[in-house]
Amino acid sequence: MLYITQTALELGFLYALVAMALFLSYRILDIADLTTDGCFVLGAAVSVTLAASGHPLLAVPAAMIAGMTAGFVTAFLQTKLGVPSILAGIVTNMGLYTINLMVMGWSANVSLLKSETIFTLFEDTGIGGAWNEAILAGAITILMGVLLILFLGTRLGLSIRATGDNMDMVRASSINPAFTITVGLCIANAMTALSGAMVGQYQNAADINGGTGIVVIGLACLIIGETVLGRRTLVKGAIAAIVGSAIYRLIYAIVLYTKIMPVQGLRLITAVIVALAIAFPTIKNWILFEKRKAAARKGGN
């Protein structure tokens, strides 16, 4: 059980950055950014390829810059060329498949055999003992969360939040929405790529299909976290991304080890959770409306 918890915590922290990226793009900017899947693989591909050539540290910022570029392409399609936001993400995602293959030297997966990674480097320092991977992953994720919250309180951060909150207001108040959306998507995708970069080095491999469905899983994590913590403030939102991600990975690990069902079954459950959670307000209204109709009928007779 301890082992399960440890693995869940490690993966939870690593994948939490995707949930945090979606917190920024989906919750704050109100854009369903489907670049996420390809961007995650891009991060992993850049990171693992660079680590394989002996630069595990450089690999991390390089992956983030690559992710930022992917976010920029999506934002450019959307804000400058009028491509609807969902389609812009899908189009970029499609293109990224080829880019990712290219980064990995035209092979579908790259492995790190004996190369050093940020995790082996950290292990060598001796900090954290057996928990060193969880500690490194946690430190990076929490640091990114703190930076994100601090950033969202700056003038630029406030402008980005207003863009997702009230477009009418933004247009009338000297903020250029094209700029704020671009900055927001660049940051979100840098975080997604960072997640991919760390997962890649953690698993010592990058796979061309490693990002499939990451966007839905990230949303599920965010929703789980928000259900546990409530979604009122920014700080809670960022913590929700981490907590939700840890809970999701714990469930995943339990399913994996207890074999109560095939682990592939989790995808269906994840999809259902996300669909239900997003549909929740509509379902609630429908139930209230049906109740009112029933009450009115009773009163009428």
Partner 1 sequence: MLDIQKISKTFNPGTVNAKKAVSDLSLHLDEGDFVTIIGSNGAGKSTMFNAIAGVFYVDEGSISLDSKDITFLPEYKRSHFIGRLFQDPLKGTAPSMTIEENMALAYLRNTEGASPFTRISKKDKAFFQEQLSLLGMGLEDRLRQPVGLLSGGQRQALTLLMATMVPPKLLLLDEHTAALDPGTAEKVLELTKDITSREHITCLMITHNMKQALELGNRTLLMAGGNIVLDVGGEERSHLTVEDLLARFKAGTGRELDNDRILLSE
Distance between first and last Cα of the chain: 60
Residue from 156, 205, 250, 251 touching partner 1 (CB under 8 A): that is: 156
**Stretch touching partner 1 by CB under 8 A, among 36-44, 114-122, 137-145, 167-175:** 167-175
30 binds partner 1 (CB under 8 A): no
CA distance 88 to 125: 43
SS3 state of residue 53? coil
Residue from 176, 268, 291, 292 touching partner 1 (CB under 8 A): that is: 176
230 binds partner 1 (CB under 8 A): no
Residue from 1, 81, 172, 301 touching partner 1 (CB under 8 A): that is: 172
CB of 140 to partner 1, least distance (A): 21
Q: Which is nearer to partner 1, 2 or 172 (CB)?
A: 172
User: 128: left (phi > 0), else alpha (psi -120 to 50), else beta?
Assistant: left
Residue from 53, 57, 87, 165 touching partner 1 (CB under 8 A): that is: 165
The candidate with the shortest Cα–Cα distance to 211, out of 97, 84, 59, is 97
Residue from 127, 147, 169, 260 touching partner 1 (CB under 8 A): that is: 169
The candidate with the shortest Cα–Cα distance to 25, out of 183, 155, 175, 177, is 183
**Stretch touching partner 1 by CB under 8 A, among 18-26, 121-129, 173-181, 279-287:** 173-181
80 binds partner 1 (CB under 8 A): no
Cβ neighbours for 55, distance < 8 A, ≥ 6 positions apart: 62
Question: What tokens does 188 get?
Answer: 């979100």
CB of 171 to partner 1, least distance (A): 6
Identify the burial level of 53 via C-beta atoms within 10 angstroms of its C-beta, where 0-12 means exposed, 13-18 middle and 19 or more buried: exposed
Q: Which is nearer to partner 1, 114 or 155 (CB)?
A: 155
149 binds partner 1 (CB under 8 A): no
CA distance 159 to 169: 10
User: What residues make contact with partner 1 under the rule CB under 8 A?
Assistant: 151, 153-156, 158-159, 161-162, 165-166, 168-169, 171-177
